[in-house]
Amino acid sequence: MAGPGRYVGDVTEGITRVEDLPQAKVSQRRRNYRRRLCPECGRSAYRVRTVVRRLHDLGDPVCGRPRDIQITYSQHHCPGCGVYFNADMDDLALPKSHYTYRVVHAAVRLVVEDGLPYRLASWHLWREHRVFVPFATIQNWVEAGGKKVRHTHRR
């Protein structure tokens, strides 16, 4: 039966090879500085290198493609206390995470608010937001407490 409410399967259903999935749109961000203040002692710390990090964000539901953010950022070394640290990216993602806060929050909401099991939440994120998150990762986020994640986000 034709009409706006007719069932249309996900275009990626049945695809088994990663390279056949829609390509991510990549947007560039820069957090690359010559100098930053040391978070430990407050002295000025020079950049020692520039690094690139890729984060998976919520995708584009209109064109059905995933979205990645590529951040070019600086790493610094403090001559005062010897500490190494990165340019601040706490507004975008947790340290070492491969996903933006937007993905983490969407995933935690699916489980906590909508009561979806982890596997279904994982599938929903792919189908509606074009971001692939293994269900075990979602489970870690939920068990770590949505609280902690939200807390770090609001600074």
Out of 78, 92, 133, 149, point to the residue binding Zn ion (CB under 5 A): 78
Residue 45 or residue 131: which is nearer to Zn ion going by CB? Answer: 45
**78/131 with CB nearer Zn ion:** 78
Does position 88 interact with Zn ion (CB under 5 A)? The reply is no
H, E, C per residue of the chain: CCCCCCCCCCCCCCCCCHHHCCCCEEEEEEECCCEEECCCCCCEEEEEEEEEEEEEEEEECCCCEEEEEEEEEEEEECCCCCCEEECCCCCCCCCCCCECHHHHHHHHHHHHCCCCCHHHHHHHHHHHHCCCCCHHHHHHHHHHCHHHHHHHHCC
The verdict on 11 binding Zn ion (CB under 5 A) reads: no
Binding mask 12-41 for Zn ion (x = CB under 5 A): --------------------------x-xx
Q: Residue from 80, 117, 134, 145 that binds Zn ion (CB under 5 A)?
A: 80
Binding site for Zn ion (CB under 5 A): 38, 40-41, 78, 80-81
